[in-house]
């Protein structure tokens, strides 16, 4: 078999995690209007301030929608979305409050098992608290006691609204206001759940916090909302991983993540995104339109984004940092892979406001099949950002001759003392490299995976150990041998 054939063979691999769980659902009929917003708020038993905020967001979104003001600048193509055809709330039916894992629907637990989500003893021993989001409602949260001991709040967004309304009220929308963009407005109006983290002053969160998201119900847009606050001197590392089952029609996923770091606080946010990418003809797959932003509010604060994006039919995502506090640091490490007919337009924004702020951007784009991969990054040095520094490295790897890599760096400097560095490269994975490894006894698939992992090393290095292993596997599975 020739290389090309072998590769075609391997790229034809079906999405390994495609299955549907049948769980009794509680869902709203399709459509979006003020009544739907009210119904969501009511179902969730939310206080008045939340409903008001949702309604304001909805009205803003509706005004944009009416004028068809969806963002159109991204380098991606898809047919218009009929927002009235989607259902905006879906939750597994629960008869009563759950006290332990044993009470969770065994079907749901079985789904987690298939995904290899370690909700059980082993994971507890491994020291990872998992807040599992099954569709839109958190069904199980573990390790709460140990976190509570440290004073860390880690719960579903709904619980946070109930139990910590002051914190929610203070920070919700403070980094990503509902007027930020079309999808952020939509999310603000209809978000059903998500995660909430608060790490109090001087506390180093005793474990990595981990959340697994999974879209399950058919025809349901998934709207997650995550809010993480690290108070003065606090440290937290948060891991987010996703897989989703096979669907024929496209699904919209519009999440919002807000991070706030106070003086001397550090937030590390890692994502492995593996939503269903569509089949090899480009049918189906998730539209992943996400707004992620962190604010380095305090001096010496640090926010670090690391993402490994292998899934979704379309990715539209720019995890960003607002570097407001003096000496604050923003980092963005990204691996984005597009295979078959996947499209990704992803990158970051680093907004330097405070003095001596520093940012690092490392982006690795991999395109295979007919995949289109765009890096879009903005580095903005404002007037007051004396002594600001940025380093950007942006590398693209092409596999085959039908894919594309695109780079759009925007650099805006308003302070002459700023120091900027930008490096970029585009390369093709070489037959020579593959042959070299094969000549040493390494199989073609392993050779490709090795070369890709080498290419991504500077990003993987930033991931927590176990996540890095998972990410490497994911990359190999998504790509195996797609070399022509």
Instruction: Give the binding site for other proteins (CB under 8 A).
Output: 2-3, 430-433, 435-444, 446, 450-451, 453-458
Distance in Å, CB of 434 to other proteins, minimum? 9
Distance in Å, CB of 460 to other proteins, minimum? 9
Residue 289 or 455 having the CB closest to other proteins: 455
Residue 303 or 471 having the CB closest to other proteins: 471
Residue 152 or 336 having the CB closest to other proteins: 336
Residue 224 or 395 having the CB closest to other proteins: 395
Residue 176 or 456 having the CB closest to other proteins: 456
Residue 46 or 395 having the CB closest to other proteins: 395
Residue 38 or 428 having the CB closest to other proteins: 428
Residue 180 or 446 having the CB closest to other proteins: 446
Distance in Å, CB of 437 to other proteins, minimum? 7
Distance in Å, CB of 456 to other proteins, minimum? 7
Distance in Å, CB of 160 to other proteins, minimum? 40
Residue 78 or 435 having the CB closest to other proteins: 435
Distance from C-alpha of 155 to C-alpha of 164, rounded to nearest angstrom: 10
Distance in Å, CB of 6 to other proteins, minimum? 9
Residue 127 or 454 having the CB closest to other proteins: 454
The pairs formed by 185-188 with CB atoms below 8 angstroms and a separation of 24 or more are: 185/57, 185/58, 185/60, 185/61, 185/64, 186/57, 186/61, 186/83, 186/223, 186/254, 187/223, 187/224, 187/225, 187/254, 187/255, 187/256, 187/291, 188/53, 188/54, 188/57, 188/61, 188/225, 188/256
Distance in Å, CB of 126 to other proteins, minimum? 22
Distance in Å, CB of 5 to other proteins, minimum? 11
Distance in Å, CB of 374 to other proteins, minimum? 23
Distance in Å, CB of 451 to other proteins, minimum? 6
């Amino acid at each position: 078999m020739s290389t090309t054939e072998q590769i075609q063979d391997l790229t034809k691999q079906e999405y390994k995690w495609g299955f549907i769980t049948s769980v009794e659902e509680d869902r709203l009929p399709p459509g979006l209007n003020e009544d739907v917003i009210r119904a969501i708020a009511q179902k969730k038993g939310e206080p008045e301030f939340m409903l008001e905020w949702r309604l304001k967001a909805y009205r803003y979104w509706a005004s944009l929608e009416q004028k068809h003001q969806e963002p159109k600048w991204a380098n991606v193509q898809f047919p218009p979305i009929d927002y009235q055809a989607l259902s905006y709330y879906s939750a597994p039916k629960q008869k009563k409050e759950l006290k332990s894992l044993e009470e969770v629907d065994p079907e749901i637990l079985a789904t987690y098992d298939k995904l290899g989500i370690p909700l059980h003893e082993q994971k507890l021993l491994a020291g990872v608290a998992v807040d599992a989001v099954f569709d839109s409602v958190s069904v199980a949260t573990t390790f709460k006691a140990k976190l509570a001991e440290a004073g860390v709040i880690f719960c579903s967004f709904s619980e946070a609204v109930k139990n910590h309304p002051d914190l929610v009220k203070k920070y919700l929308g403070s980094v990503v206001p509902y007027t930020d963009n079309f999808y952020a407005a939509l999310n603000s109006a209809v978000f059903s759940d998500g995660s909430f983290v608060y790490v109090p002053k001087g506390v180093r969160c005793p474990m990595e916090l981990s959340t697994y998201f999974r879209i399950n119900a058919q025809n349901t847009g998934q709207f997650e909302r995550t809010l993480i606050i690290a108070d003065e001197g606090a440290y937290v590392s948060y891991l987010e991983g996703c897989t989703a089952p096979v669907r024929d029609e496209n699904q919209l996923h519009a999440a919002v993540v807000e991070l706030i770091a106070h003086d001397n606080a550090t937030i590390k946010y890692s994502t492995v995104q593996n939503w269903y990418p569509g089949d090899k003809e480009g049918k189906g797959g998730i539209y992943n339109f996400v707004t992620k932003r962190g604010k380095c509010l305090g001096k010496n604060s640090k926010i670090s984004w690391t993402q490994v994006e292998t899934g979704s039919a379309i990715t539209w995502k720019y995890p960003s940092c607002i570097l407001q506090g003096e000496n604050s640091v923003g980092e963005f490490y990204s691996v984005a892979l597009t295979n078959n007919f996947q499209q990704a337009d992803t990158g970051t924004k680093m907004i330097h406001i405070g003095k001596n702020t520093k940012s690092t951007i490392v982006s690795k784009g991999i395109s295979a099949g007919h995949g289109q991969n765009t890096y879009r990054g903005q580095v903005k040095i404002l007037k007051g950002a004396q002594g600001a520094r940025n380093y950007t490295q942006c590398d693209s790897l092409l596999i085959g001759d039908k894919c594309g890599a695109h780079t759009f760096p925007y650099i805006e400097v308003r302070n002459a003392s700023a120091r900027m560095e930008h490096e970029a490269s585009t390369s093709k994975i070489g037959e020579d490299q593959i042959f070299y490894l094969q000549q040493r006894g390494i199989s073609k698939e392993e050779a490709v995976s090795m070369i890709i992992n080498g290419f991504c090393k500077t990003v993987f290095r930033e991931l927590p150990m176990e996540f890095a292993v998972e990410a490497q596997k994911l990359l190999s599975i998504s790509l195996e041998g797609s070399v022509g």
